[in-house]
């Protein structure tokens, strides 16, 4: 019973945030973004979506906040802005099909031209 309570408490303290990183252009940038965010001990997971230029971060709210994570990206010379929160389950998704291109509501615009035709 105690273990269940501890797991439940941990989930309540976890938060997710999504950043749009406009100057993340290549795989090297994506790795640099991930590495920079993981320097914060409160960060438990980083999911980078290079195609949409977004990063979803799961973190402990007792140890850090959205603005501190944004500052890490700024200090690493990335232009980041907070966008719609990530879903608690599964974070950001990219289905890989052009018809079902999903970038968490904001969209990356990559497939908009094709849809409008």
Q: What is the pLDDT of residues 24-78, one digit of tens each?
A: 999 999 999 999 999 999 999 999 999 999 999 999 999 999 999 999 999 999 9
Q: Are 26 and 101 in contact (CB under 8 A)?
A: no
Distance CA 73, CA 62 (A): 20
Can you tell me which residue has the tokens 């252009």?
A: 25
> In terms of DSSP H, where are the helices of 1-117?
2-13, 27-38, 66-75, 112-116
CATH 3.30.70.100 fits 12-116, yes or no: yes
Q: What is the mean pLDDT of the chain?
A: 76
What is the dihedral angle through the alpha carbons of 11, 19, 65, 15, rounded to the nearest 10 degrees?
A: -10
CA dist., res. 56 & res. 93, Å (int): 10
Per the rule left: phi > 0, alpha: psi between -120 and 50, beta: everything else, 113 is: alpha
Q: Domain locations in the chain?
A: 12-116
Of residues 12 and 113, more confidence is placed in 12
pLDDT at 13: 76
């Amino acid at each position: 019973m105690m273990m269940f309570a501890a797991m439940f408490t941990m989930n309540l303290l976890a938060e997710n945030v999504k950043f749009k990183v406009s100057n993340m252009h290549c795989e090297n940038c994506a790795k640099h973004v991930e590495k920079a965010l993981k320097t914060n001990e409160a960060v438990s997971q980083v999911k980078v979506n290079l195609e949409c230029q977004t990063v979803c971060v799961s973190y402990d709210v007792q140890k850090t906040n959205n603005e501190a994570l944004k500052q890490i990206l700024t200090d690493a010379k990335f232009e980041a802005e907070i966008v719609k929160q990530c879903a608690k389950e599964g974070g950001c998704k990219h289905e890989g099909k052009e018809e079902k291109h999903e970038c968490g509501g904001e969209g990356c615009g990559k497939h908009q031209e094709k849809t409008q035709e």
